[in-house]
Structure 1
């Protein structure tokens, strides 16, 4: 397969841009407890910072993708990554949790711009060969999720705590900004109507008539919600209750996320054979089984490293199937609205994480029960909602989407 010139350099940068949001969160996860103590914040206050980030990151996808169709990729990319760097600096020097949360909100906006522009550039440059390249960026992003907590734990342990971790995100952002300066504009046919509110609302209204898209949206939202409450709450449990160091926690977390990479690889190799619906059906089953086992083991023997880690790997294996399968199921039937569908499915994913994080913040106590209970609740809803909505799907919706 022949790619455009300098494709390896371009692809490496696009993987980095796609992973910027995940790196921003996962680096910090092992240090959430120290962050709260350092800013004299109430226990669980750091969860609000995580939730604000994913809320802005999710909402931004509804608007920034169409905006890049209108003004071009390069201006939005440079503005977004610059905002990311400045916001990260604000967080590094924050004196209280309110300032830190404000910085996280702007950081989420900048990371969102990087993600949607990177995905648009893949479509611009590789055109009909964009599918395999997009898959590579997803695998790269999942690898960042797996490795970042390990790196974040090492930085927190050996380089100065949570502020050193935030300075690491400044460094990543600065490198991305420097590299982005060498980008040439790839959107050569701009749409002056793209990004206008009336046009967006009309297009989303048509898109949401499809019960198929709604079922994939519920699957990805609830699956990511199940994952996110575990991601957000696991540091307090593994480090605060079970006594792991930040570095040990990073290794455990990396092992959990490795299941997601395995699921994504399986999906990449089999989705053309089985189709998105079957892949997501299998994935939501694994998600429900894994989360339910975590809850059962917690109630039978209490929290333990293996009792939390091993069943959660079953969940992430399923999630690695649900996430790319849902995106494919939403985008493939919409050739003329692929960007719009991708933006909405990304928004649904982050909406699930936001709701999950807010609920965990309200229910958080000194035990692991709120985390494992919410984890199971979101997972079971994902399993049930996908099946119920698929049974009720309207045949006419398929015809509309294919047009």
Structure 2
């Protein structure tokens, strides 16, 4: 990978010798992976505890699923806030501030006395966590360009996939030992540990490249992004897919544990199977995107998601294939993440690289906005069966595929190699 020339610009706390070393690059990769994984860490660890939370807080399954939707609300709004702030003030200080908010929100979730207060504190928790995710993507764009950025994003997503792979398994063990409140206490500890690593990162946005316009005007510029069709197509491909992903996240605990009577201890293994698929497709994407084009990889992924989503809906509605039929098809759907997420983000960032912080925030907010819709539909239409989840997954896959087709039509007749 080739470092962007901006890396050579010395920030006040950056040590050039360390920045150029192999060890420093691997350390930066690890910290950025952790920051990008905050969304997964904050959600996946507590999934096995959702049925227990329903009983302890005397809340319906639909109400508990709204804790996922509430988190996504805070996450979407937070990204819209942190993007322009980082374009003006740099990356590290906003990230550190967000992590402090995340720690506070996690601690208050552990103390929640009702489902309503838990949803509120989940919003606070997510607002802080969003800083790490949106700014880690912007930092990648600060350091890398073109196919190098796609490869780096794929690598980061592959590394961070370890978090959701282990999350439900760890969460189930903590649930058994200390109850659901201990899960949120663990998240607070993770936040404290992450905060200690932030200031070991270089500042990737030097003062000469920062935007000094008032923040109010920077926020208004989100409207300009809505007038860029190509950016909207990339964003939509990821946003629709995220709707299906979070329908999967919110729906599988009750589909597997309550409907098919899977033990919470083994739920993490079934959930983790999908993460293995994500890791595999991200590694494939990292190797092939520069050869056949990231747009081609994106279209392939959305076709895969649409086909798998339709079959998931049919199995969820008919019951044909039982638990293992549902698990297998959801595995295929979830695995499309490796072809969709990195390529849609990189494509959007390349449309307007001079405002990578704001574009990253816009894309992230749209993605998690899709997640709000997907998980919210599960909460509204929950009927004790996997059918609402299956329907949401199918609609999400089809929507993502349509957005990818828009990109194809915009470049109809052009070589697929172009990205």
TM-score by length of 2: 0.86
Distance (whole Å) between structure 2 residues aligned to residue 218 and residue 186 of structure 1: 28
Instruction: State the match for 1:4 in structure 2.
Output: 20
Instruction: State the match for 2:116 in structure 1.
Output: 98
Instruction: State the match for 1:212 in structure 2.
Output: 230
- SS of the equivalent of 1:63 reads helix
1:136-215 matched pairs, under 5 angstroms: 136-157=155-176, 159-183=177-201, 185-189=203-207, 191=210, 193=212, 196-202=215-221, 204-215=222-233
Q: Please say if residues 256 and 316 of structure 1, whose CA atoms lie closer than 8 Å, have aligned partners that are also in contact.
A: yes
Q: Structure 2: state its 5+ residue gaps.
A: 4-18, 413-418
Q: Structure 1: state its 5+ residue gaps.
A: 396-401
Return closer, same or farther for 1:273/1:130 CA change in 2, 3 Å cut-off: closer
1:393 to 379, 395, 410: 410
- SS of the equivalent of 2:37 reads helix
Distance (whole Å) between structure 1 residues aligned to residue 351 and residue 88 of structure 2: 24
Instruction: State the match for 2:34 in structure 1.
Output: 16
Higher mean alpha-carbon deviation, 365-374 vs 297-306, is at 297-306
Higher mean alpha-carbon deviation, 3-12 vs 365-374, is at 3-12
Distance (whole Å) between structure 2 residues aligned to residue 65 and residue 390 of structure 1: 25
- SS of the equivalent of 2:287 reads helix
How far did residue 62 of structure 1 move? Answer: 2.1
Distance (whole Å) between structure 2 residues aligned to residue 74 and residue 221 of structure 1: 27
Higher mean alpha-carbon deviation, 300-309 vs 365-374, is at 300-309
Distance (whole Å) between structure 1 residues aligned to residue 43 and residue 213 of structure 2: 30
Deviations 1:292-339 (Å, cap 9, x if unpaired)? Answer: 112222334357321111111111222221111111221223332333
How far did residue 167 of structure 1 move? Answer: 1.4
Distance (whole Å) between structure 1 residues aligned to residue 38 and residue 214 of structure 2: 24
Q: Please say if residues 137 and 360 of structure 2, whose CA atoms lie closer than 8 Å, have aligned partners that are also in contact.
A: no
Return closer, same or farther for 1:236/1:195 CA change in 2, 3 Å cut-off: farther
Deviations 1:204-257 (Å, cap 9, x if unpaired)? Answer: 344333322222222111111111111101001111121111120000000022
Deviations 1:155-195 (Å, cap 9, x if unpaired)? Answer: 212x2221121111111111112223555645431635356
Deviations 1:259-286 (Å, cap 9, x if unpaired)? Answer: 2222222211111222232212111111
2:135 to 101, 110, 117: 117
Distance (whole Å) between structure 2 residues aligned to residue 25 and residue 69 of structure 1: 28
1:241 to 259, 274, 288: 259
How far did residue 353 of structure 1 move? Answer: 0.3
How far did residue 131 of structure 1 move? Answer: 5.5
Return closer, same or farther for 1:338/1:83 CA change in 2, 3 Å cut-off: closer
1:299-338 matched pairs, under 5 angstroms: 299-302=317-320, 304-338=322-356
Higher mean alpha-carbon deviation, 314-323 vs 5-14, is at 5-14
Distance (whole Å) between structure 2 residues aligned to residue 300 and residue 358 of structure 1: 23
Distance (whole Å) between structure 2 residues aligned to residue 49 and residue 371 of structure 1: 16
1:122-137 matched pairs, under 5 angstroms: 122-124=140-142, 132-137=151-156
Q: Please say if residues 263 and 320 of structure 1, whose CA atoms lie closer than 8 Å, have aligned partners that are also in contact.
A: yes
Higher mean alpha-carbon deviation, 292-301 vs 126-135, is at 126-135
How far did residue 382 of structure 1 move? Answer: 2.2
1:31 to 43, 49, 57: 49
TM-score by length of 1: 0.89
Distance (whole Å) between structure 1 residues aligned to residue 228 and residue 361 of structure 2: 15
Q: Please say if residues 73 and 186 of structure 1, whose CA atoms lie closer than 8 Å, have aligned partners that are also in contact.
A: yes
In the alignment, structure 1 residue 75 sits paired with structure 2 residue 87: no
Instruction: State the match for 2:380 in structure 1.
Output: 362
Deviations 1:75-127 (Å, cap 9, x if unpaired)? Answer: 22222111111111101011111111111111101111122333344455678
How far did residue 360 of structure 1 move? Answer: 1.3
Return closer, same or farther for 1:288/1:133 CA change in 2, 3 Å cut-off: closer
How far did residue 63 of structure 1 move? Answer: 2.4
RMSD: 2.5
Return closer, same or farther for 1:193/1:50 CA change in 2, 3 Å cut-off: same
How many residues are matched? Answer: 393
Deviations 1:378-402 (Å, cap 9, x if unpaired)? Answer: 2222223432x3365389xxxxxx9
Distance (whole Å) between structure 2 residues aligned to residue 263 and residue 292 of structure 1: 20
Q: Please say if residues 237 and 367 of structure 1, whose CA atoms lie closer than 8 Å, have aligned partners that are also in contact.
A: yes
Return closer, same or farther for 1:184/1:325 CA change in 2, 3 Å cut-off: closer
Distance (whole Å) between structure 2 residues aligned to residue 87 and residue 130 of structure 1: 32
